[in-house]
Structure 1
């Protein structure tokens, strides 16, 4: 197959076929106003696959062998523009009115579980923004209605007895992975003021990482199935996710010996665990 020298023009029937496939696979509908965008993204994939026929490309998409290419096409159809604290007026409404009302309602009902879904989260700036605003709102609520029995030090981001869950989803797996990594450059952090950076981010070289908040990770009898290189990558990721002084528990036949120097083994009554060498400040 050769790289097409000119853009392939789809017939109306071919365009309808592509529209139907995209709609069937992910629910995105491209009407007449957006067919130019759809055609542009299609041309990119044709060039990448070195195909010069829509018919051959379509056959690839609907074949068992073409599932990965279909996923690539669908990812190309998403617009992943996002930023921290985007649409400030709407976030102010959420933070100062909607969230305050919901917290009061739940407090009155004895329900301290808050769940917020970020649908179409892109590279994570929206759910992390929501998390920061929720943490601020709950801290302020705690100041107004203190719970003497819940005094803890250091103060947790989410004051007890509150529990918060913010599931985040996106059709684009590539941007989801970026959101899971939660590391952002200076340009991406432009809309995050100093106080938020200080409280919720760690400076890692020239970039910013969401602060580690996981206390304990269980990963037992999993690493034994990976080679040494993959084990090292996994342990490094666990270390980034754990809070300073957090614990990692692996299987009884597994060890971090030779994989990292960022954990210290804890041994007690025949039980073992690993503690991050970073001590809480």
Structure 2
């Protein structure tokens, strides 16, 4: 393993990955980087990491594929249920009140680091079920992994993957097909899947609800702060931010306010 990726190679790759994405590889997860690079070299029939490095420095598409391969895409429907309980019982009613005051009916949601789409589809089902007429929701689902985004766009999930979806939602929003379930147009049309690197400004503005869970853990503190500041710019004056239950903005110089609800803790942009 050490012969495959020398210390100098490891430092070179982890610096490049950090510069390009903000993702940090430490000595403890070096083996993950090595195994993912081996896959890319096999795919390109190359024998040495220096040869591959030269390729990604001149080929932007291969750079995207490399970044895709080193990201971890672990997700499931209704992951961390208390967040969705807070959304349903507290956030949606609050956002509706704000929208009524401004005579608006569209709620803008961003699922950042959406992986294969289980989170945005979960959000779509809840919003479709709970929003009264004439309110509608528009969800942008973004990720650094093109492979994951393609899964989300198809809206098809094998049977083991739909664990966690309540029966009433499954029958209403999915159709049994072959060995899995296909999302119906009702919820597919609410979501726009989009490639986005969190190191850059998404260009989005006036987001009312933002989910970015279990993504910040891959960044060091300066990169986390930069991402959180870009989220602030993307969000509307009174809006809500969900991060992973093991993540925190505590100790970070940020303008978000900590918000403890009966169901879960989250953050609010309150200006």
TM-score range, shorter chain: 0.5 to 0.7
In 2, Cα distance between equivalents of 1:91 and 1:35: 34
The corresponding residue for 1:81 is 74
What stretches of structure 1 of length at least 5 have no aligned partner? Answer: 1-5, 143-158, 217-281
For 1:205, which of 164, 178, 201 is the aligned residue? 178
C-alpha displacement of 1:109: 3.1
- Please identify the structure whose Cα radius of gyration is greater: 1
TM-score by length of 2: 0.63
In 1, Cα distance between equivalents of 2:179 and 2:42: 35
SS in 2 for 1:213: helix
For 1:185, which of 158, 164, 169 is the aligned residue? 158
CA shift in 2, pair 1:206/1:13, >3 Å: closer
What stretches of structure 2 of length at least 5 have no aligned partner? Answer: 190-271
Are the counterparts in 1 of residues 113 and 141 from structure 2 also a CA contact under 8 Å?
A: yes
Describe the superposition over 1:235-276 as per-residue Cα deviations: whole angstroms up to 9, x where unpaired: xxxxxxxxxxxxxxxxxxxxxxxxxxxxxxxxxxxxxxxxxx
C-alpha displacement of 1:7: 6.2
For 2:122, which of 129, 133, 147 is the aligned residue? 129
TM-score by length of 1: 0.61
The corresponding residue for 1:263 is none
Match status 1:19 vs 2:14: yes
The corresponding residue for 1:55 is 50
C-alpha displacement of 1:88: 0.7
Q: Tell me the C-alpha RMSD between the 2 structures.
A: 2.2
Detail structure 1 runs of 4+ shifted over 4 Å in the superposition. none
**Matched residue count:** 188
The corresponding residue for 1:43 is 38
Describe the superposition over 1:37-67 as per-residue Cα deviations: whole angstroms up to 9, x where unpaired: 222222222333333322222112212xx43
For 1:117, which of 110, 128, 133 is the aligned residue? 110
